[in-house]
A = this chain, B = another copy of it.
Amino acid sequence: MIIKLKNEITLSQEKSFRQLLVDKRIEVIPTVAGNQKLFVVVGRFGELSKREIRAHPLVATILEVDRPYKLASKLARRQKTVVHLNGVKIGSNETVIMAGPCSVETKSLINEIAKGVKSAGCQILRGGAYKPRTGPYDFQGLGKIGLHFLKEAAINSGLKVITEIMDIRDIELVEKYTDIFQVGTRNMQNYPLLRELGKSRKPVLLKRGMWATYKELLLAAEYILLGGNEKVILCERGIRTHVPETRFTLDLNAVAYLKHESHLPVIVDPSHGTGRANLVRAMSRAAIAAGADGLLIETHIDPRKSFSDADQTISIQELKKLVKEIKNVAHAIGRS
């Protein structure tokens, strides 16, 4: 259950109301969603009835949410969450495309890719400066200078930036450069990281763990939401299955399910979700048709020369075709 407090409530009123609940053996976690103060009830009910709580003078309303996640559920928020990025609206009727290289490699290259990404009609530039690599001998990203190149390239081309945050100690630094934090699949259940990002006011794109259930993804989102950061974007990027022909199995059921169950925007990453450049266009169309709010695509001027993920990276030319097709599909299902 979620208790919505009235807007004009003072801190001391909030405190005394919370004490009242404690006295009645009702444990709550206070949080905010936008400007709305909330108490999320944890566990079983205590010695006050729902009717009594609803009738309390400080309470605006109560929401019954019979899900393990509360804030992430549609029962907690009927309208869709739209993440605004100075003109770009993720989760609205428009389709948002984030594209760029797996990792930032050189200043000139990221600038050239950014121009291509912009000219293809995308809104956001992706690129890794800190790369979570399976082995310690792989290229680990350029680090801070990579962030700098990425930001500069995005500004030059009129794009927003998304980049991955791996290390809790880098949040302050990365926050200066990025418009959206990306939490990678391996970190979906890195709870200290999620909690810290809950304190930020920048949007967080949370990639589904390659092993995770839908419930687990929504519970991971709940960690961020509960911190007061309501700008969470879910991302389906493929799960581990027995199929050897693709790198991962893109689970578009997840998109349809999450859009039914949650108010949060859902983005799809068909590059990792297939691991094969020649399947990316078809699966991008499918993702949008399934109801996704946007895409996250790996692209490069010359995919064969990409430092990492070369097999799944498409060229700028291919990206342009993709954007065109996506628009047609989006219109067909009543989106812009």
Binding site for B on A (CB under 8 A): 29, 40, 42-43, 68-70, 132-137, 166-169, 186-187, 189-192, 209-211, 213-216, 219, 222-223, 226, 239-246, 249-257, 259-260, 273-274, 276, 278-279, 282-283, 285-291, 325, 328-329, 331-333
Q: How far is the CA of A176 from the CA of B290 in the complex (A)?
A: 38
Contacts of A192 in B (CB 8 A): 166-169
* Chain B residue with the shortest CB-CB distance to A278: B260
Do B333 and A325 touch across chains, with their CB atoms under 8 A apart? Answer: yes
Residues of chain B with a CB closer than 8 A to A167's CB: 168, 192
- Identity of the chain B residue whose Cβ is nearest the Cβ of A334 in the assembled complex: B328
B243 touches A260 (CB 8 A): no
How many monomers of this protein are in the complex?
4
Measured between beta carbons, the chain B residues less than 8 angstroms from A240 are: 211, 240, 242
Shortest C-beta distance, A130 to chain B (Å), equals 9
Interface pair A251/B256, CB less than 8 Å apart: no
* Cβ-defined contact, A286 with B214, below 8 A: no
Once bound together, how far apart are the Cα atoms of A186 and B245, in whole Å? 21
Residues of B within 8 A of A252 (CB): 250, 252, 283, 286
How far apart are A30's CB and chain B's nearest CB, in angstroms?
Answer: 13
Contacts of A209 in B (CB 8 A): 186, 211
Q: Beyond A242-B240, A244-B213, A253-B250, is A226–B332 a contact (Cβ under 8 Å)?
A: no
Q: Which of B255, B278, B286 contacts A290 (CB 8 A)?
A: B286
Q: CB-CB < 8 A to A136: which residues of B?
A: 29, 191, 219, 222-223, 226
11 contacts between A and B (CB under 8 A): A43-B137, A70-B137, A132-B191, A186-B189, A249-B251, A249-B253, A252-B283, A253-B279, A256-B279, A256-B283, A329-B332
Q: Quick one: which of A133, A189, A290 has the most chain B CB within 10 A?
A: A290
Bound-state Cα–Cα, A211 to B135, Å: 16
**Chain B, residue nearest A42 (CB):** B137
Q: Are A241 and B244 in contact (CB under 8 A)?
A: no
* Assembly CA distance A191 to B241 (angstroms): 23
Q: How far is the CA of A290 from the CA of B216 in the complex (A)?
A: 27
